[in-house]
Amino acid sequence: KTKDSLLFDVGFNTCNLSAFEKLLAEDLEFYHDKGGLTESKKAFVESFKNGMCKSPNFKSRRELVAGSLEVYPLFDNGILYGALQKGVHRFFESANGQAETQGSTAKFTHLWLKEESQWTIKRVLSYDHQMIPIKNNSEEITVSKTILSNYTGSYQAQQTGTVHISLGDKGLIMKAN
């Protein structure tokens, strides 16, 4: 799950190509049900760089569907050498500063290999891309301002630096860089 987070939350969601590159095997094979086959790390990074990361006016974000991630270890004579990871993720897009809209939802399977204590992705299957509306099953609750005030203050966040939480009329307000 940590490597998944590095791959998507750090790499994909922010177009941090160096984060991607550290996690991909040189002979990566990426099978996509809509975009076809990509047969190397170099080709994958280039397509990403010249595709969705090319324009600063376009943003794509991937979100792992809660509870969908499954990981299965792979052993050779009792020694861990890899893992199969599968799950469901959904994508969101925004362009020219507009509000984010929902993109597709898809299934994925990754083959991770451990070589010299380093984990890399060797094979990727990305399939069953569909436009599925997100159902909001949440319900609104009311929390007293006394309880909310316990969470106000300034916090340090690894990605954004200092985050300030204050009390507003309808709840907490977060301000970050």
Dist CA 64 CA 71 (whole Å): 14
Name 30's bridge partners.
Answer: 38, 124
Write the pLDDT tens digit of every residue in 94-140: 888 888 888 899 999 999 999 888 999 999 999 999 987 666 667 77
At residue 55 the predicted structure's pLDDT band, cuts being 50, 70 and 90, is confident
Alpha helices in 64-170 (DSSP H): 145-148
- pTM equals 0.70
